[in-house]
């Protein structure tokens, strides 16, 4: 992952890189949950 390597190189700490990855995954989870809820409201559940 580009962001992992960039943050690791910029800060010199893998801890910050892992934190950034966690943030990306949490944002993705929130977006997927929001998209699923929108689909349920429209009645387009497969």
Supply 26's token pair. Answer: 């949490």
CA dihedral 17, 19, 25, 27 (to 10 degrees): -120
Residue 14 has pLDDT above 70, yes or no: yes
Q: What is the pLDDT of residues 32-42, one digit of tens each?
A: 999 887 777 77
pLDDT reading at 44 higher than 70: no
What is the pLDDT at residue 24?
A: 93
Decide if pLDDT at 46 tops 70: no
How many CB atoms sit inside 10 A of residue 20's CB?
Answer: 17
Global pTM reads 0.68
Report residue 13 as tokens. Answer: 């700490």
- The length of the chain is 46
């Amino acid at each position: 992952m580009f962001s992992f390597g960039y943050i690791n190189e910029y800060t010199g700490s893998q801890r910050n890189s892992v934190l950034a990855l966690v943030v990306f995954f949490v944002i993705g989870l929130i977006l997927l949950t929001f998209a699923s809820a929108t689909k349920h409201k429209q009645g387009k559940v497969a």
